[in-house]
Amino acid sequence: MTQLTFKPVMNVIQQSQIIPTTLNRSKSVEIFFYNRVPKCASSTLLFLIRSLMEPNNFSFEDGPFNHYANSIYEETLLLQKLYGYTYYLRVVCALPFLYILPNIFRYKEARGFHSHTYFINFDQYGVDESIQPTLINMIRKPVSMQVSRIFWDYYLEHGQDPEKLKQNFNLTQCLIRNQYYCRFQATQLQICFFAGSGPPCSHVKIEDGEVNEVLQLAKYNVERHYAVVGLTERLNETLVLLEAYLPRFFRGISAIYKESDGIAINVRPFEAAASQLEQNLIRDHPMIRMELDFYDFVKQRFDKQFAYISGAYKTPLLMKI
């Protein structure tokens, strides 16, 4: 029986200076998991990954649900699909417990999985490190991501013609009046896809006193657990990194992207460019300031990794935690 407290050792993480490095966090087992952040070119990356299945001899599967997964129960469903465990989850004295019967690795062949899922701490589920998947993801400049998300949410509810939507929806007023589509909740942030499903990301709002905890935890998880976290704005370089750090799965991905003439899937014609005022209004929100800090950290790591494979670093930089 594994007790799931979902309370990380934050005193250690918060007191440490988490420095991005070039270390390759890929695992020995031939499984990778892409817990994809929405509105970050994930549809394009999915297309490219699927194009590699046959030449690189691996399978690539959807997660067990088609919505954002950010609960313990949903994580157990995903783990069941990954490993074939039988789960029994119940609450004892207000604490969740997970029974794993049996602890047998399900897959022998190479494969990947994807889902809009918050970071999963496999250690807390009793998954042996020898069979934990390699993690990858991609993020986007926070202001750009939020503009895309706001227009998409509005479109989903109103379903208007793209040109009519841009005429009818006033992003400036939405932001100034804190209207429904322009409220920044935890489920709408990139950072929670790396901090995990426990509090405070399981809440609607991340309180001021929780910002540093979420930020530090997300940085720690990126540096400790992810092989590559790419940048949407630098997709070409992201593909080069994936190919260098995980050649078993991503060998040839840059060539496929080039042959497709830089294909972009799910580009939204109804998205209007944000004015400088609108960008400033988004940037000044406390949650977005946290997102910007996190993005800068990931970008530093990305730059170091890319410099390393380009020959600027002769040996990997050691993790300072």
- Assign a CATH topology to domain 19-60+117-309: Rossmann fold (3.40.50)
Q: Per-residue pLDDT averaged across 201-227, rounded?
A: 87
Residue with tokens 């489920």: 187
Looking at residue 64, its pLDDT comes to 73
pLDDT tens digits for range 4-52:
444 444 555 655 689 999 999 999 889 999 999 999 999 999 999 999 9
Strands 2-3 and 95-101, bridge-based pairing: antiparallel
Looking at residue 160, its pLDDT comes to 67
Based on the number of CB atoms within 10 Å of its own CB, is 86 exposed (0-12), middle (13-18) or buried (19 or more)? exposed
pLDDT tens digits for range 159-192:
767 677 777 889 999 999 999 889 888 888 999 9
Looking at residue 305, its pLDDT comes to 96
Residue 319 has pLDDT above 90, yes or no: no
Fill in the amino acid letter for 157.
Answer: E
Looking at residue 68, its pLDDT comes to 66
Looking at residue 8, its pLDDT comes to 47
Helix axes 142-158, 276-283, angle to 10 degrees: 100
Spatial strand order of the sheet with 226-231 comes to 59-62, 111-114, 31-34, 134-139, 226-231
Looking at residue 86, its pLDDT comes to 55
pLDDT band at 128 (very low <50, low <70, confident <90, very high): confident
Residue 125 has pLDDT above 60, yes or no: yes
Looking at residue 185, its pLDDT comes to 84
DSSP 68-87: -B-SHHHHHHHHHHHH--EE
DSSP 117: B
Q: Per-residue pLDDT averaged across 191-200, rounded?
A: 86
pTM, rounded to two decimals: 0.86
| Cα 159 from Cα 156, distance rounded (Å) | 6
Q: Per-residue pLDDT averaged across 209-232, rounded?
A: 93
Q: Per-residue pLDDT averaged across 53-73, rounded?
A: 81
Looking at residue 206, its pLDDT comes to 77
Residue 241 has pLDDT above 80, yes or no: yes
| Cα 46 from Cα 38, distance rounded (Å) | 12
Looking at residue 13, its pLDDT comes to 63
pLDDT band at 102 (very low <50, low <70, confident <90, very high): very low
Looking at residue 262, its pLDDT comes to 73
Q: Per-residue pLDDT averaged across 209-236, rounded?
A: 93
The larger pLDDT score, comparing residue 217 to residue 200, is at 217
| Cα 77 from Cα 122, distance rounded (Å) | 13
Smallest CA-to-CA distance from 250 within 262, 268, 234, 238 is with: 238
Residue 97 has pLDDT above 50, yes or no: no
Tokens of 107: 């897959």
Looking at residue 76, its pLDDT comes to 77
The larger pLDDT score, comparing residue 7 to residue 249, is at 249
pLDDT band at 267 (very low <50, low <70, confident <90, very high): low
pLDDT tens digits for range 272-298:
678 999 999 999 998 999 999 999 999
**What ranges in the chain are assigned the alpha helix state H?**
10-14, 42-56, 72-83, 142-158, 162-168, 171-176, 192-195, 211-225, 235-245, 247-250, 253-259, 276-283, 286-309
Smallest CA-to-CA distance from 186 within 71, 59, 318 is with: 71
pLDDT band at 103 (very low <50, low <70, confident <90, very high): very low
Q: Find out whether 28 and 130 touch, Cβ atoms under 8 Å.
A: yes
288 CB-near residues (< 8 Å, 6+ apart):
142, 143, 146, 184, 282
Mean pLDDT computed over every residue of the chain: 82
Smallest CA-to-CA distance from 144 within 295, 299, 43 is with: 295
